[in-house]
Amino acid sequence: MRPNTATPTGPSTSSTGSTSSASPSSPSTGTSIFDELESQVRSYCRSWPATFTTAAGSTLQDEDGRSYLDFFAGAGALNYGHNHPVLLDALIDYLRSGGIVHALDMHTVPKREFLTTFRDRILVPRDLDYKVMFPGPTGTNSVESALKLARKVTGRQHILSFTNAFHGMTLGALSVTGNSMKRNGAGLPLTNSSKIPYDDYFSGATEDFLWLERVLSDSGSGVDKPAAIIVESVQGEGGLSAARPEWLRALSELCRAHGILLILDDVQAGCGRTGEFFSFEESGIVPDIVCLSKSISGFGLSMALTLIRPELDQWEPGEHNGTFRGQNTSFVTATAALNQFWADDAFAEGVRVRAAELHDGLTQIASGYDGAVVKGRGFLTGIKFPDASAASKIAAAAYERGLLVETSGPEDEVLKTMPALTISSDELRSGVDIIAAATAEVLGAPAIHENTAHEGTENPTDHREDTK
């Protein structure tokens, strides 16, 4: 989860000792301009106060020449690392050619090439039939469009979402988000949505969809039939809980049975992060609407898609539009990324192998601390510590050692690793070693017993062997 408070969790000075008291007359080297002029709302820079300059792959440099290993990947917007040379060349060639950059939703060659490539590389091989909507450039734009379309098509208002869900910061997306601090920021009642328990919310003690099945079938329940249910396969911001495939299938069947649309928010877990292009592929479900953003451009450029089952594409022309839907630079890098990484299964197979290495490394660390458990799936995985304050302290200690790693969960209780999918095994090992050292610094030396983290695992499916 993005840092919530105004209190820095990381070091308060940069490696040169630049502080908020640095002279305002020397903005080129100090950090004072950020403190002076930038809103209090800024957050990541409080944990990582370096001033960054260049980046390549999984390494960033700051202006003091210090290197950082990246286990954050732009919160999932940099699945192929920083400045991937193939994508960079495509972008530079396009810009140098005088290609049009901004074009609203007008026809352009890059948009044609993106749509053609997306159809041929992603949709057709997966036997998926979706119309592609460009809803505006961010994840929350995609979520807003999905909620709006679901309401329009069904004529119903209510939306169900899950405990600890995160879907974005605009009002509609916030209304289906769990985090109370983010919700309170809305400043008005967030209505027309209710929360239902995510997979394993009751630790297996209650049958998963007991309440929902019952109230939907009972005309006296007083619960309005929802237009849609929106779900993440892995809760990236809400604590890295991962839904089991059978749970997703049961959810999908329940939606079908009751005429409720299923919206799959793949903004964070999509684009290969779980070892398959869409995070729901393993379950075999076909959602009615899919939200994609973050790494769809492949290069960290803003871009979002809303995928819509064709019969649901009932928009009037222009009924949902926006100025920034035709970012041709994003189309260019997105097409290059699809061609580079998704022409066959080799890349995804490599991701699955290295995600297993990451998982093993984290399991080794967790096994040294009572009650610590590994959570998540694929390259969206981390460690939950029983002391909720530990993860933030470990992230801060890791930063001091040159690793960017963040936290997730309502209390930031999970140390969240999200490396680029292109990271090497050696880089992964270095990052895991830094986390081990940072954990030992914060929590003390690990207990000497190997691979016992599974004993303390709150949900064995959180790190399923077949989906690492």
272 in contact with ligand PLP (CB under 6 A): no
Applying CB under 6 A, does 274 fall inside the site for ligand PLP? no
DSSP string, 271-320: TTTTSSSSTTGGGT---SEEEE-GGGSSSS----EEEE-GGG--PPTTSS
Given CA atoms 75, 389, 394, 46 in this order, what sign does their dihedral have? positive
Cβ closest to ligand PLP, residue 238 vs residue 368: 238
CB of 69 to ligand PLP, least distance (A): 22
Alpha-carbon distance 250 to 289, whole Å? 17
Tokens of 22: 């640095």
Whole-number Å distance between alpha carbons of 405 and 414: 11
**What's 102's DSSP letter?**
B
**Distance in Å, CB of 233 to ligand PLP, minimum:** 9
- 68 DSSP β-pair partners: 60
Q: Is 363 in the site for ligand PLP (CB under 6 A)?
A: no
CB of 273 to ligand PLP, least distance (A): 10
Please tell me whether residue 139 binds ligand PLP under the rule CB under 6 A. yes
Residue 140 or residue 306: which is nearer to ligand PLP going by CB?
A: 140
Residue 140 binds ligand PLP (CB under 6 A): yes
Nearer of residues 184 and 314 to ligand PLP, judged by Cβ: 184
Residue span binding ligand PLP (CB under 6 A) among the ranges 10-18, 115-123, 163-171, 437-445: 163-171
Does 299 help bind ligand PLP (rule: CB under 6 A)?
no
Cα 253 vs. chain centroid, distance in angstroms?
A: 25
Fill in the DSSP letter of residue 205: S
**Residue 350, SS3 per DSSP:** helix
Burial (Cβ within 10 Å: 0-12, 13-18, ≥19) of residue 143: buried
Residue among 282, 293, 342 nearest 465 (CA): 282
The structure tokens listed for 122 are 């992603």
Sheet with 414-417: list strands edge to edge: 373-377, 380-384, 414-417, 406-408
> Does residue 406 belong to the site contacting ligand PLP (CB under 6 A)?
no
Q: What does the per-residue mask of binding to ligand PLP show for 88-127, with x meaning CB under 6 A? A: ----------------------------------------
Kindly state the smallest distance separating residue 422's Cβ from ligand PLP, in Å: 20
Q: Which residue of 50, 143, 216, 380 would you call a contact of ligand PLP, by CB under 6 A?
A: 143
Using CB under 6 A as the binding rule, whether residue 236 contacts ligand PLP is answered as yes
Is 376 a residue that touches ligand PLP (CB under 6 A)?
no
Q: How many residues make contact with ligand PLP (CB under 6 A)?
A: 15
For the stretch 292-319, what's the b/e string if a residue is b when 16 or more beta carbons lie within 10 angstroms of its beta carbon? bbbbbbbbbbbbbbbbbbeebeebeeee
Specify the stretch interacting with ligand PLP by CB under 6 A; choose among 55-63, 137-145, 280-288, 307-315.
137-145
Nearest to ligand PLP by Cβ — which residue? 139
Cβ proximity to ligand PLP: between 334 and 432 the closer is: 334
User: At its nearest, how many Å lie between ligand PLP and the CB of residue 238?
Assistant: 9
232, 276, 282, 462: residue in contact with ligand PLP (rule CB under 6 A): 232
What secondary structure does DSSP assign to 22-89, as a single string? Answer: S-TT-TTT-SHHHHHHS-TT--HHHH----EEEEEBTEEEETTS-EEEESSHHHHT-TT-BT-HHHHH
User: Nearer Cβ to ligand PLP, position 199 or 232?
Assistant: 232
Q: Report the nearest approach of ligand PLP to the CB of residue 175 (Å).
A: 13
Closest C-alpha to 95, from 427, 389, 332, 437: 332
Decide: is 293 part of the binding site for ligand PLP (CB under 6 A).
Answer: yes
Measured from the CB of residue 164, what is the shortest distance to ligand PLP in angstroms?
11
| 3-state secondary structure at position 226 | coil
164-203 mask for ligand PLP (x: CB under 6 A)?
A: --xxx-----------------------------------
Closest to ligand PLP by CB, 51 or 233 = 233
Q: Nearest 5°: phi and psi at 170?
A: -80, 165
State the residues that interact with ligand PLP by CB under 6 A.
Answer: 75, 138-140, 143, 166-168, 232, 236-237, 265, 267-268, 293
